[in-house]
Amino acid sequence: MTRVAYPEFRPAALPRWALVRQRLDARELDDVAAATRAALGPVMGTVRPGTRACVAAGSRGIDRIDVVVKSVVDRLREAGAEVFIVPAMGSHGGATAAGQLEVLAGYGITPESMGCEVRSSMETVDLGEVLPGVPVFVDRNAFEGADLIVPVNRVKPHTGFTGPVESGLMKMLAIGLGKQKGADTFHRQGYDQFARLIPAVARHTIARAPVAFGVALVENGHARLSRVEAIPADRIETREAELLAEARAAMARLPLEAIDVLLLDVIGKDVSGTGMDPNVVGRGKEGDEEAGAGPRIGRIVVRGLTQATEGNASGIGFADVALRRAVEAMDERKTYLNGITAKDVEGAKIPVVADTDEDALGMALAACLRVEAPTARIVRALSTKHLELLWISEPALADALATGRCEVVGPPRPITFDADGMLADDLADNLAGDMAHEPPGEG
């Protein structure tokens, strides 16, 4: 393919930038398996020999989720339960049973690794209406094949709404276990209804399905597990609200109130449900004023997709400029199914496309209002989930340091590009492993 260049947008001068390390919440579980087993102790009285137990899992990007799920499976089996796993991920995996098995396998969750069956189906059971016109669905395998259902999920701020509970066990019960049919029905109500509907639908499900307890996970600012907690079904709603406050306080954020251009090396479903987290970048579903709480950002550039997103480019539409390699890595079916089911087609739109970092940055700067390139506030991050290391341009450096949580790793240096027009600097050792398509010269 012939590359298209835009030299007219390349500025004559750029500011220097420096590599900055941000100090984030670092509380972490050293032994996740042991912590999971300890957390399960108080709730194991609900498990009897011969109990058919279903473990529901499926959210992307959770730290060591395979260890947590394996520990739950093992502990249930030790109590004499017959255990199987179901994917609880709404429309993910292309909304197919095989696709959802592939997603779980990507987390390391397979029959071989877990030591139990994984039953994947898009069939659901109708649990009746929670409100007029709002039916509730639950995975048929879980409902008909189990005496006990155990959802396992991370508790964190949602990307499209704010409420007493957001992403977590309640959302998995309300949407994830409802498969594509349930997710589509639920999202049709609109994000402005989620704060009210998620608790209502989850309560409806708990009252009609054999949910015994849930396993809630919380991550620190480095996206590493800091808490594993088993919660009895009748306490999930109250306790999840408390864990959400803890997760919100711990999550990583950009250390600036205003940025002219933000460069994101990767977006993906393992980073955020919307590819890039609106809680970090301040951009969310169109028309949802509460979706984002991040800084004011003039333009966003997306450089690539993560490998784990498997072509799902949801969120690319929230960028202003994207590298062609990111667009070409997009799996249209997965992206469109996800976006349409979530009633969020804005995030699937293709932004302005550039072949090189040099053109992408130049185009983004040229598209800013009242910004001169030499004094531009430019930030580069690996993703919205990984914000420990950042490249920050000198005009924004003092503000970042003033937060008291940033330190400069090395002296400022020019923003430079290699012979192929790609950024010559990397983000240390954590860059290459998460890139679906590494730029020339980076390893």
Short-list 293, 275, 273, CA closest to 283: 293
Last residue of a domain, one of 250, 272, 303: 250
What is the number of other CB atoms lying within 10 angstroms of the CB of residue 258?
A: 11
Residue 73 resides in a domain: yes
Residues 269 and 395 in one domain: yes
Tokens for 372, please give them. 């001169």
Residue 289 resides in a domain: yes
The residues near 163 (Cβ < 8 Å, ≥ 6 apart) are 194, 195, 196, 198, 199
- Domain range for 265: 7-24+253-434
Residues 37 and 107 in one domain: yes
Residues 241 and 337 in one domain: no
* Number of independent structural domains in the chain: 2
Last residue of a domain, one of 201, 226, 250: 250
Residues 263 and 325 in one domain: yes
Residues 273 and 209 in one domain: no
Instruction: Write out the chain's pLDDT in tens, 443 residues.
Output: 678 899 999 999 999 999 999 999 999 999 999 999 999 999 999 999 999 999 999 888 899 999 999 999 999 999 999 999 999 988 777 789 999 999 899 899 999 999 999 999 999 999 999 888 889 999 999 999 999 999 999 999 988 788 999 999 999 999 899 888 878 887 788 778 888 889 999 999 999 999 999 999 999 999 999 999 999 999 999 999 999 999 999 999 999 999 999 999 999 988 988 899 988 998 764 444 444 467 899 999 999 999 989 899 999 999 999 999 999 999 999 999 888 887 888 899 999 999 999 999 999 999 999 999 999 999 999 999 999 999 999 999 999 999 999 999 989 999 999 999 999 987 754 443 444 433 333 32
Q: What is the DSSP string of 385-407?
A: S--SEEEEEHHHHHHHHHTSSEE
- Residue 349 and residue 342: Cα distance in Å, rounded? 14
Last residue of a domain, one of 230, 250, 270: 250
Tokens for 428, please give them. 């240390």
Residue 199 resides in a domain: yes
Short-list 148, 198, 195, CA closest to 173: 198
Residues 262 and 246 in one domain: no
